[in-house]
Chain A
């Protein structure tokens, strides 16, 4: 499992955008580097991150090799009612990780 952190505000206003922060533990090897003895270091990156709110996808991104290790993403989501926000990520070897948080709507 790929570990990560997720933070949402403690409580949000209905219909107002709120900030979602995601930090993922991953080497993000771009595939262009070599070992000291000349061997290629194969590409190994998280290539997709998706966020669902109440089961519906509200944000997704395809990441490439230009993203540094341990990617830090910040994006905005609007909520009409309280629900569960879930962020999932998957790397090019098919390994997955996820984090979830409950969003309270004031």
Chain B
């Protein structure tokens, strides 16, 4: 199985490749992508609160492609949501404000290949994420790799199994009828294998996000994504 995992990882394919034509069209729609309702809110907030320090949001180009990363100020590895929360304390996980700002900033890196730094202080987090990815858990006793490497492209409950790539997040998930963070999506996988869900912002979720970003090296994002 490790051999197939190795081969599957050779070509990275965004989760949108595993979606229907209708969902692909929805994501590509520059007006009707419902995630843009959150981005609009993010743009409004950026104008009110962020321009003072950061200027135009275009200055954020390429930033999201380097996250999660180790922040010297915070002394730990953080994802984009946590970095924004550090700037603006009080923004709750999955609130429209936080999702909107995250999507707005992440959007500036659309088309830029994901490339995260796991040298130095981020190395231990990366190692933790990698071991979580291969660790079986929950009542179904499944590791991420059992679906997202070994069974990619096969069908699980009428849905094709994707490679579990983190590009395009935050994404509008039709099941949620809302934009949601990558952490929310990861928690949904924990729920799916009947494991205990880590809290939002927990070190484990950030470590997993970092490992996924390493795994997605070179993949280009298209935020906000749309998924079933």
Contact = CB atoms under 8 A, between A and B. Distances in A.
Interface of A: 3-5, 7, 21, 23, 25, 27-28, 68-70, 72
Contact of A68 (B31, B32, B40, B177): B177
A9 B124 CA distance: 52
Interface residues of B, number: 10
Given A21-B32, A23-B31, A5 B37 contact: yes
Interface string B23-55: 000000001101011001100000000000000
Contacts of B40: 3, 5
B211 to A, nearest CB: 32
Contacts of B37: 3-5, 23, 25, 70
A69 B31 contact: no
B137 interface: no
Contacts of A28: 177
A23 B26 CA distance: 12
B151 interface: no
Chain A CB within 10 Å — which of B41, B174, B177, B178 has the most? B177
B208 to A, nearest CB: 27
A8 to B, nearest CB: 11
Nearest to B177: A69
A7 B33 CA distance: 13
Contact of A23 (B36, B177, B178): B36
Q: Which 3 A-B pairs have the closest CB atoms?
A: A69-B177, A25-B37, A70-B34
A101 B6 CA distance: 53
A3 B96 CA distance: 12
A27 B177 contact: yes
Given A3-B37, A21-B32, A23-B36, 11 more contacts: A3-B40, A3-B41, A4-B37, A5-B36, A5-B40, A21-B31, A23-B34, A25-B37, A68-B174, A69-B177, A70-B37
